[in-house]
């Protein structure tokens, strides 16, 4: 019910936005193009430095400058190792890779790719009968696309002379888990703590919950797979 | 199976190497009465140093809206973008940060992003990338991961996208394209087989310019799957919310 209501609402918004838009199509072509950037225009049109007299000290000598690009370090790439508890299937080591893009000082986007391996259920151990899963189906891989919020940025102090930037962040997102031979839509959420020993290096401690539906034992149920990992990443 | 972790380590080492090999930092001139240096790239970090007008400093790096500055005395700290705008190049021109803003939103060419939604009742995760020929028209490649209760699938489509009024902050668009869809029934089902089919779509959506280089998007597509059976299949695809950036 809810889904269809959202669809109707979406369609109404789409229509109301599209219809006036259509009327504009014809006119749009006649409009003069907007200036790309005001700064670029003045650069071309006028001898820019002369017009900006008051700021510049006329005594300054002209030098030939090779303009290097500013090194922007908004991306973060790294790897992590930890423990993943797979519901009904024991806890095991998990390895993963992480790519993050920092949008602002508060928010970041994160993509993670991880793999682990499921153990044996208590049932399999006790009953001694046939295994629930074949060997290949015990491989557990996932990917997640998440949004993060640096909720508590700050500094940590080690001794008297050392301060390192840090942040406690919250993360939530969606993704897919491949386990028991099928891909499953997965919602993940959690928190993490990041310390930067240097401006380009970060050490992470993360706790995540991966939630999905599984009908492996005939009946559908929701599973929560908790993960805790330690990671290292580099800004570039 | 042990290959991916070692690959990751290799990648990390590679990026470490590139992170070390920096160019000479860019030199600028302070034009404001003074700029304040913070201990970290964030508004809450304390100010520990002040550089006054006329001094030359180096930009070491940039992170989001913060710039790491090194003074001639070797002090390093972070200054916000608002203060950097008021600095000058050594030639006396204002510092051009060359960043996408509302003014050059119109001249964007490349766009990419991710969206989430619903594909005929199944969950949908979608990634897309596009190139704009003109202000209105662009070509777009979309890769979908479809996660349903009875089957999973992937689809890849290539299509045209027409934005009606690109200069509007919220602007509607029309899209049309074709591609392939691969369907893989769940392993718990018996007698099911994998399928490859051609897919065609027509749809529309809204894009909303957020800030800097970021946009939100919402889209509907009506898909026709050209199956090998007698009847074609029609699937409604709703991407409720997506995040996009342009450069």
CB contact under 8 A, B8 and A97: yes
Q: How far apart are CA A199 and CA A164, in angstroms?
A: 9
Closest by Cα among A59, A60, A62, A43 to A51: A43
CB contact under 8 A, B147 and A63: no
Q: How far apart are CA B167 and CA B105, in angstroms?
A: 8
**Smallest CA–CA distance from B125 into chain A, residue:** A175
Q: How far apart are CA A214 and CA A184, in angstroms?
A: 8
pLDDT at A136 (0 to 100): 83
pLDDT at B45 over 60: yes
Q: How confident is the model at residue A28 (pLDDT cuts 50, 70, 90)?
A: very low
pLDDT at B151 (0 to 100): 85
Any A CB within 8 A of B92 CB: yes
What is the predicted ipTM? 0.79
Instruction: Residue A175: list chain B partners with CB under 8 A.
Output: 125
B43: Cβ contacts below 8 Å, ≥ 6 apart: A105, B80
State the smallest CA–CA distance between residue A125 and chain B in angstroms: 23
**Lowest-confidence segment of A95-109, B31-45, B84-98 by average pLDDT:** B84-98
Contacts across the A-B interface (CB distance below 8 Å): 184
- B 206-245 residues with CB below 8 A of A? 206, 214, 218, 220, 238, 240, 243
Q: Is the pTM of this model over 0.90?
A: no
Q: Which of B1, B2, B3, B4 to mutate to test the interface with A (most CBs of A within 10 A)?
A: B4
State the smallest CA–CA distance between residue A120 and chain B in angstroms: 19
Q: Which of B11, B172, B173, B244 to mutate to test the interface with A (most CBs of A within 10 A)?
A: B172
B79: Cβ contacts below 8 Å, ≥ 6 apart: B35, B36, B37, B38, B66, B67, B69
Nearest to A95 among B5, B24, B68 (CB): B5
- The string of pLDDT tens digits covering residues B122-171 is 999 999 999 998 888 999 999 999 998 888 899 999 999 999 888 888 99
pLDDT at A51 over 60: no
Torsion, Cα B107 B113 B118 B123, to 10 degrees, reads 170
Length of chain A: 236
pLDDT at A120 (0 to 100): 85
């Amino acid at each position: 019910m809810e889904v269809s209501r959202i669809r109707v609402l979406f369609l109404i918004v789409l229509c109301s936005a599209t219809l006036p838009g259509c009327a504009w199509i014809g006119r749009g072509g006649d409009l003069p193009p907007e200036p790309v950037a005001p700064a670029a225009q003045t650069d071309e049109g006028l001898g820019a430095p002369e017009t900006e007299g008051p700021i510049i000290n006329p005594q300054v000598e002209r030098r030939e400058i090779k303009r290097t690009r500013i090194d922007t370090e908004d991306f973060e790439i790294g790897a992590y190792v930890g423990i993943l508890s797979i519901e009904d299937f024991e806890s095991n080591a998990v390895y993963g890779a992480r790519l993050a893009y920092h949008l602002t000082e508060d928010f970041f986007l994160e993509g993670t790719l991880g793999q682990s391996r499921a153990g044996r259920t208590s049932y399999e151990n006790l009953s001694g009968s046939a295994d629930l899963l074949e060997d290949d189906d015990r491989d557990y891989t996932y990917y997640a696309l998440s949004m993060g919020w640096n909720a508590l940025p700050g500094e940590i102090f080690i001794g008297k002379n050392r301060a390192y930037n840090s942040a406690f962040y919250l993360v939530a997102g969606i993704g897919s888990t491949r386990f028991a031979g099928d891909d499953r839509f997965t919602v993940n959420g959690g928190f993490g703590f990041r310390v930067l020993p240097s401006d380009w290096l970060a050490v992470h401690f993360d706790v995540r919950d991966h939630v999905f539906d599984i009908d492996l034992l005939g009946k559908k149920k929701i599973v929560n797979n908790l993960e805790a990992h330690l990671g290292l990443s580099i800004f570039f | 199976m042990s290959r991916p972790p070692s690959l990751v380590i290799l990648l990390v080492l590679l990026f470490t190497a590139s992170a070390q090999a920096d160019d000479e930092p860019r030199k600028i001139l302070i034009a404001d009465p003074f700029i304040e240096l913070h201990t970290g790239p964030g508004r809450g970090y304390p100010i520990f140093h002040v550089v006054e007008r006329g001094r030359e400093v180096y930009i070491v790096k940039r992170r989001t809206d913060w710039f790491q500055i090194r003074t001639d005395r070797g002090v390093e700290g972070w200054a916000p973008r608002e203060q950097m705008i008021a600095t000058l190049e050594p030639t006396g021109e204002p510092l051009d940060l060359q960043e996408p803003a509302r003014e050059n939103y119109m001249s964007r060419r490349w766009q990419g992003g991710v969206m989430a939604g619903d594909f005929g009742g199944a969950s949908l995760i979608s990634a897309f990338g596009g190139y704009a020929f003109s202000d209105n028209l662009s070509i777009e490649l979309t890769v979908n991961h479809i996660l349903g209760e009875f089957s999973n699938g992937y689809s890849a489509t290539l299509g045209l996208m027409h934005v009606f009024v690109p200069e509007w902050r919220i602007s509607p668009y029309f899209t049309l394209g074709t591609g392939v869809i691969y369907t893989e029934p769940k392993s718990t089902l018996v007698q099911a087989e994998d399928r490859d089919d051609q897919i065609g779509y027509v749809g529309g959506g809204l894009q909303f310019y957020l800030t800097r280089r970021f946009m939100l998007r919402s889209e509907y597509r009506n898909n026709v799957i050209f199956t090998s059976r007698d009847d074609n299949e029609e699937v409604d695809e709703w991407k409720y919310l997506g995040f996009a950036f342009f450069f």
